[in-house]
Chain A
Amino acid sequence: MMKRFFVVAAIVAAALTAAIPGALARPAADPGVSSRSITIGTTLPLSGPASLYARIGTGMRTYFSYINARRARDGKRGVYGRQIVLKIYDDQYSEAQTVQQTRRAVEQDRVFAMLGGLGTENQQAVRAYMNQRRVPQLYVSTGLSEFGRTHRQFPWTIGWQPDYVQEGILLGRYVRQNLPNAKVAVLRQNDDYGKEFVEGFVKGAGQRFIAATETYPRNGGATVIPGPVARLRASGADTFLVVATPTESITALVVAYRLGWRPNKLVNSVGATRQFMAAAQASAGSAEAVNGVVTTTYLKDVASPRYARDAQVRLYKRLMDKYAPSQNAEDQLFFYGMAKADTFVQALYRAGRNPSRASLMNAARNLKMRSAWLLPGARIQTSRASAFPIRHQRLTRYNNGSFTEFGSLVKTR
């Protein structure tokens, strides 16, 4: 017994000390960049209730495959001849995992930057760390306005999409102007994201419109939704505002329909792509469950006939056919990922032939360009004073299988 213990202990000791990985890697000034490649990372939920968002990673990776294969104007493939390698880490939408996976990316896999990490709390959890390490935390996949507002305190962090406050304001204004007697029932996630969206909505509409509010726990999945929706229905409201992530927003629409509630429906953009609407319709067994849903948009809609001949949407479809043929190219999340990847590529070009983390961040913070991925007329614009890359939005309404934009293009910040 003792002898065996000794043997095992010796083996363990030998094995542990023999393992000498990354420690001896060269101390380069900026990790992740070689003459041939640039390695970046992202954290997304590949498992768990929020895993529908994993498609964003596929979209980004698909676009990088294209950039790596095509010849740019300088005759080189990739960006200035460097291939872009995207590593995707599964954080299960749990902050504890986000911290560990981000540290793994930065410290062990030595990524140049993180791109499009998803989740409000998840990205808040690693923000101090990324800034202490001076690693770009680019284009986080959350609309919390804090990521744009705190750019002085956290200069290595930047968001991308229009923030929730602005989205809320737009929907709020819509209600005030078009449904002046509405009684709004709010279902929101019980975190900063949900809170901030509703604050924007109240700013745009006015407090008097809110008839009832229910919250559901973050990462709760479908089961936490029916109770709150039933209570909201009982409140007698005639308008239903859903501020929720995909699984929850789909469930909310389905449950409302099954309960025989037929309110005006407003859904935040993160929970309202055509794909999610179709899923809700299939689950409810009726188009009535989703017809008339109003949401906001800032990207071209890949499934809309309006953009069927649009050059960028056609490029997108071609890339999906070529690099991700098994995926459903009509899912807007892939397009979102590609559009974001393109913003990164443009920033990387502007960071110079030999990019450093600082030059990349500088480029991302001073980016002024047209982007064919956005709605016609919209621009990406950041400056010293403002760190909100996308600010143009429009209202859009779902009916029988597709969204139709209406109203004018609004710049809300």
Chain B
Amino acid sequence: MRIALRVVGYGLLAAAIVLLPFTLGEFRVTQFTYVGVFAIALMGLSILTGITGQISLGHGGFMAVGAYVTAILSVNHDVPDLLTIPLGGLVAGVVGFLFGFPALRLAGVYLALATFALAVIVPSVASAAGSFTGGTAGILLDLPTSPIGRLTPDKWLYFVTWGIAAALFVLALIFLRGKRGRALRAVRESELAAVSSGISLANYKTLAFGVSAFYAGIAGSLYAILNFIVTPGTFPVTLSILLLAGLVIGGAGSLLGVLAGAAFVEFLPLYAGDVLRPVINAGQRLGFPVNDVDPTTPGVPSVVYGAILLIVLIAMPNGAAGLVRRVGALTKQVYSRQNPSESRVTP
């Protein structure tokens, strides 16, 4: 029964994702493609931070690596852009794996700082590398095209992205099964206990970094194709922070959480400024002196953005997935109060 429900649930979700682009305008389709890209990056981050307990403020850097691989190969070496996606993932994965070694010696805040350095360094290296990476002007890719006449380029990229996301999701489930999954979780819970149970920290931490960066690299490649430009400015430090915020807000370690977090990463920066207009209108109706606030004043979007982040974190300390769980627990409470016999069954 439970498995059947779960299968139906995933089926419905998959059906919604497949049908979605046919009900939306073209820009919304593209936006949900970005959501798919960020979902892939967040799956990777979830493996590293949510499962293995290693914080990363540098995933924007891994995304940049994947994006540059795609841009350089497709523009300078005429490799079809879709073929560059796995390569972007692999190169980023190797970088992540290597980064796992210094990370072995670090924990907590120090690891956060080290990964943060990565987010700062990758764009700087890219802008200093001159003709290889196009410097600060970056590399312009061709506009996306669709090999299938019936699908517009927007829809084509949407299906490519979500197809890859689905495959990577299954891959993550397989990766986290059995002994390996337990070992990674053990590293998160207590390194000391993990080591005493015969788990090699070096192996599992570098593995987690590598796999996580692989996901970020794939996301970066797709991001490059979608954006049709890669510059150092495409991957600002704030992107890395936003990704981690997305993971926290979505709730680390759950599929629905990853989707919610990805939607957050995509939509909040674009609409932070717009949220203010209705707030001002409401304020004026209530008689607050807010006439002078213009949502297009410099700085206002950033303030709104920060405020939303705070509100969300206060309202949902365990992320969107945690909120769902809480609402679920509430309905269960109400339900069991109405059917006392039920409550006795639950321990």
Contact = CB atoms under 8 A, between A and B. Distances in A.
Interface stretch (B2-10, B46-54, B80-88, B209-217): B2-10
Residue from the set B10, B127, B270, B296 with the largest chain A CB neighbour count within 10 Å:
B296
A249 to B, nearest CB: 17
Interface stretch (A51-59, A147-155, A272-280, A374-382): A51-59
Contacts of B2: 1-2
A51 B273 CA distance: 14
B299 A51 contact: yes
B134 to A, nearest CB: 10
Interface stretch (A6-14, A198-206, A259-267, A351-359): A6-14
Interface in B256-271: 256, 259, 269-270
Contact of B233 (A4, A7, A121, A128): A121
Contacts of B30: 100, 103, 107
A326 B273 contact: no
B329 to A, nearest CB: 9
B181 interface: no
Given A9-B9, A95-B234, A101 B137 contact: no
A302 to B, nearest CB: 20
Given A20-B23, A124-B137, A218-B136, A13 B15 contact: yes
B23 A19 contact: yes
Contacts of A16: 16-17, 19-20, 23
Interface in B126-153: 127, 135-138, 140, 142-143
B302 interface: yes
Contact of A190 (B24, B28, B136): B136
Interface in B8-47: 8-10, 12-13, 15-17, 19-20, 23-28, 30-31, 34
B231 interface: yes
B236 A94 contact: yes
Residue from the set A6, A51, A132 with the largest chain B CB neighbour count within 10 Å:
A6
Contacts of B324: 4, 8
Interface residues of A, number: 60
Contact of B8 (A6, A95, A108): A6
A21 interface: yes
Given A90-B301, A192-B137, A108 B19 contact: no
A5 B12 CA distance: 11
Given A5-B6, A125-B229, A19 B136 contact: no
Contacts of A3: 5
A121 B25 contact: no
B13 A128 contact: no
Residue from the set A16, A22, A190 with the largest chain B CB neighbour count within 10 Å:
A16
Contacts of A307: none
Given A2-B2, A21-B24, A96 B227 contact: yes
Contact of A17 (B5, B20, B229): B20
B292 A326 contact: yes
A63 to B, nearest CB: 15
A343 interface: no
B112 interface: no
A376 B294 CA distance: 34
Interface in A185-202: 189-192
Contacts of B25: 21-23, 25, 107-108
Contacts of B300: 46-47
Given A3-B5, A51-B298, A190-B136, A129 B24 contact: no
B10 A9 contact: yes
B328 interface: yes
A411 interface: no
18 contacts: A2-B1, A7-B328, A8-B324, A9-B8, A19-B23, A19-B28, A46-B297, A47-B300, A51-B298, A94-B236, A96-B231, A97-B269, A107-B26, A107-B27, A108-B26, A121-B138, A124-B140, A129-B228
Given A4-B324, A12-B16, 20 more contacts: A2-B1, A2-B6, A5-B6, A7-B328, A17-B16, A22-B24, A45-B298, A46-B273, A47-B301, A90-B272, A93-B233, A94-B236, A95-B229, A104-B270, A107-B30, A108-B27, A121-B136, A128-B142, A132-B143, A191-B136
Interface of B: 1-3, 5-6, 8-10, 12-13, 15-17, 19-20, 23-28, 30-31, 34, 124, 127, 135-138, 140, 142-143, 223, 227-229, 231-236, 256, 259, 269-270, 272-273, 292, 294, 296-302, 324-325, 328, 331
Instruction: List 6 tightest A-B contacts by C-beta distance, closest first.
Output: A51-B298, A22-B25, A107-B27, A13-B16, A9-B9, A108-B27
